[in-house]
Structure 1
């Protein structure tokens, strides 16, 4: 007698069988399968295990009707978010997939309404532009056979999660080395939020590049922003107001904060790059059109988004892609120059 394949098992097993095996009602099994919140964690785990051991979740891939990828942002108001979205759209088009965009929660975590909506929409997969999900949320997505990729994670992704990010530490190193090569030693930095892994990595790169030259980090030149233009402006004003202590160069944690540095310099009558050199991070489209054009570290956002999309497609096809870190590179334009040169 030949062995029974998982696909054959999944065709025979009914929800009533799962209910009988687990000792819960058919309605409870249905709630777990549909990601409803009104089920205890213990019951959810028991039913989910039974569904998976019987191969029932394999059925979802066959009945999905929407060739849809969902991208979840904190917000889509920035050029950064648009760059990511362009990368997803370009790759999705190659595979005849549609893309939907959801806003919700913060960079650290989505809000519950987002997850409930996704479980109803049942996309092929999701790209999450924030930190990792909780164990309960991962279980819900797994039960509905919805793979996900964490894009530019704000914290350390769990070992069983897929993620795509840039080499932020190297980006911090090459940005600071560039300024050092121009003779700057009094270099300020406006980081992103300390809770974000990419911010800490860029700051570590900055510190490492200074250490290569035997320069200690001056705490007065390290200030924390939130990756927005207003925070770049506020932190730059604080560093630049005093002519006796102001830095000769600033490494902004991203291009949006660099825009704020530009405005602070303008209001204080400082010329870029004659009086102040500035380096950004990301290389969003507008960076090349700032006045002067911004020297920045290129984070390949569109390529990263394309990779995340391909990883989702591979996951739906039964492949096991691995997490990816893409390289960063320095784009030299007109916002930096040699000190006193």
Structure 2
């Protein structure tokens, strides 16, 4: 049975005129109403008919790139590399091969992530690249799996860049998964090798895969050194922001004044860690060593330069772009693990 616009209106509990406004995008609609309508469109698999459908089908040169925060260099670097690659060799478009990249900034919102995927499905996107870690919420994971399945079955190439494979093995084209566990373990091994035994950890939001995997790698290194007990007391969770790093460090020092090192969830968080230490008269690394993760462009210019784990963000983004537009074959089994390396700089030193 064909789903009608009236069916969508009934499911979303709005008028048919409101549904039309949302789908045509030519009239302002409240965000909550818009998301409710798009969710109904998705649930009912509503497809536009007539000229509007033809117009949507004509936009198959569209590639959607989903990021949590485009202002964060972690995502900006990957998104920029994807966009450059889909335009043709060395960024110059070839006739018939050029694609239009649309950057979709979710702000970390699971609802917005699904909304963007619904919009890209309606536009018959040629490909979708999802960057960064995933939200570990069963309901959201189930919704994501269903949505990605619809995209794949409709012919959209789906590439995951910097996030683990989807639970249940949803058949996306390719997954480029960062080895966050391995990188974090190497980083903590570096600190242990410098004699550190009381190491604080400023973790990201607990519901994110990146947070869990990096924390697991850190704790695996500690456990191997016989330091696995009592780590919850030396761990504080927060956002992936400078202010969160600052606040977490204040909390860690209150819990354990004899800290000799702090590992931060990423380089931005590490800047906040350093600021909190300096304000309390502690020298880096003479009193407390600090390490980050990702090797973002500012890490080498921090004072002192930041020891961190370098992830090949630009290379991974470029590869995701090539995979998305068919310039490169998918890795065997559909999954490639992208490793990181520890870059030692002036923010870490031996325990005094």
Give the TM-score normalised by the residue count of structure 1.
0.76
Are the structure 2 counterparts of residues 324 and 110 from structure 1 closer, same or farther at C-alpha, using a change threshold of 3 Å? farther
Aligned length: 296
Cα distance, 1:222 vs. partner?
A: 1.3
Distance (Å, rounded) in 2 between the aligned partners of 1:269 and 1:287: 22
Distance (Å, rounded) in 2 between the aligned partners of 1:103 and 1:153: 16
Q: Counterpart of 1:297 in 2: which secondary structure? A: strand
Q: Once structures 1 and 2 are overlaid, which stretch shifts more, 68-77 or 182-191? A: 68-77
Residue in structure 2 matched with residue 276 of structure 1 by the alignment: 288
**Pairing partner for 2:279 from 246, 256, 267:** 267
Deviation track 1:141-193 (CA, whole Å, cap 9, x = no partner) reads: 23542222223337854402342221111111111010011111111111112
Are positions 1:197 and 2:209 aligned together? Answer: yes
Residue in structure 1 matched with residue 159 of structure 2 by the alignment: 149
Residue in structure 1 matched with residue 240 of structure 2 by the alignment: 227
- Following superposition of structure 1 onto structure 2, how do residues 82-231 of structure 1 map, counting pairs within 5 Å? 82-95=76-89, 96=93, 97-104=99-106, 106=108, 108=110, 110-129=112-131, 131=134, 134-153=144-163, 156-160=166-170, 161=172, 162-218=174-230, 219-231=232-244
Q: Is the 8 A contact 1:248 1:277 kept in 2?
A: yes
- Following superposition of structure 1 onto structure 2, how do residues 1-150 of structure 1 map, counting pairs within 5 Å? 24-25=1-2, 38=40, 44=45, 64=58, 67-95=61-89, 96=93, 97-104=99-106, 106=108, 108=110, 110-129=112-131, 131=134, 134-150=144-160
Q: Counterpart of 1:281 in 2: which secondary structure? A: coil
Residue in structure 1 matched with residue 16 of structure 2 by the alignment: none
Distance (Å, rounded) in 1 between the aligned partners of 2:314 and 2:79: 8
Q: Counterpart of 1:126 in 2: which secondary structure? A: strand
Q: Counterpart of 2:85 in 1: which secondary structure? A: helix
Gaps of 5+ in 1: 1-23, 48-59
Distance (Å, rounded) in 1 between the aligned partners of 2:280 and 2:330: 58
Distance (Å, rounded) in 1 between the aligned partners of 2:346 and 2:185: 20
Distance (Å, rounded) in 2 between the aligned partners of 1:75 and 1:301: 15
Q: Is the 8 A contact 1:241 1:268 kept in 2?
A: no
Cα distance, 1:319 vs. partner?
A: 9.9
Are positions 1:332 and 2:306 aligned together? Answer: no
Q: Is the 8 A contact 1:192 1:226 kept in 2?
A: yes
Gaps of 5+ in 2: 9-22, 24-36, 48-53, 94-98, 135-140
Distance (Å, rounded) in 1 between the aligned partners of 2:212 and 2:58: 40
Distance (Å, rounded) in 2 between the aligned partners of 1:105 and 1:139: 23
Cα distance, 1:278 vs. partner?
A: 0.6
Q: Is the 8 A contact 1:87 1:306 kept in 2?
A: yes
Are the structure 2 counterparts of residues 181 and 72 from structure 1 closer, same or farther at C-alpha, using a change threshold of 3 Å? same
Q: Flag the structure with larger Rg.
A: 1
Q: Is the 8 A contact 1:186 1:249 kept in 2?
A: yes
Are the structure 2 counterparts of residues 245 and 123 from structure 1 closer, same or farther at C-alpha, using a change threshold of 3 Å? same
Distance (Å, rounded) in 2 between the aligned partners of 1:329 and 1:40: 41
Q: Is the 8 A contact 1:150 1:157 kept in 2?
A: no
